[in-house]
Amino acid sequence: MAYGIRAQLDNLRELGFASISGAYATVGTPLTDHARIICFSNSTDADMYISDDGVNNKLRLAANSFRLIDFSTNKIRDDGLFVSQGTQFYVKQNSGAPSRGNVWIEVTSASGGV
């Protein structure tokens, strides 16, 4: 029996604390496929804002925390809720500047199947 859908890990997107300020900075490259699962992680000592347009605050990520979002549990490749291919993520500090750590984004998409 062949399985039609495979989880496919995208390249890691990461930004060090020294590159994070009060202005939005890009985190890695745009999505190369439609994202099914995204994990936003913040190992810095400051709260962060996450954006997908570089202008508006979309998610707030507390210091030393993560947010895992599964957009399309048990859905086939072309069905369900996804984050679009080509989406670029941005990060900026909430108030105080971080003095250590990183912000990173891990993405899982689907490959093959119907």
Which two tokens mark 49?
Answer: 């804002």
pLDDT in tens, 16-68: 999 999 999 999 999 988 888 999 999 999 999 999 999 999 999 999 999 99
Which two tokens mark 39?
Answer: 């994990």
Phi then psi for 98, rounded to 5 degrees? -70, 150
User: What's the pLDDT score for residue 44?
Assistant: 98
Separation between Cα atoms, residue 42 and residue 48, nearest integer Å: 8
pLDDT in tens, 78-94: 566 778 889 999 999 99
Which two tokens mark 24?
Answer: 């939005």
Separation between Cα atoms, residue 85 and residue 17, nearest integer Å: 26
Q: Which domains does the chain have, with CATH numbers?
A: 6-111 (2.60.120)
Separation between Cα atoms, residue 49 and residue 47, nearest integer Å: 7
pLDDT band at 7 (very low <50, low <70, confident <90, very high): confident
Separation between Cα atoms, residue 36 and residue 70, nearest integer Å: 6
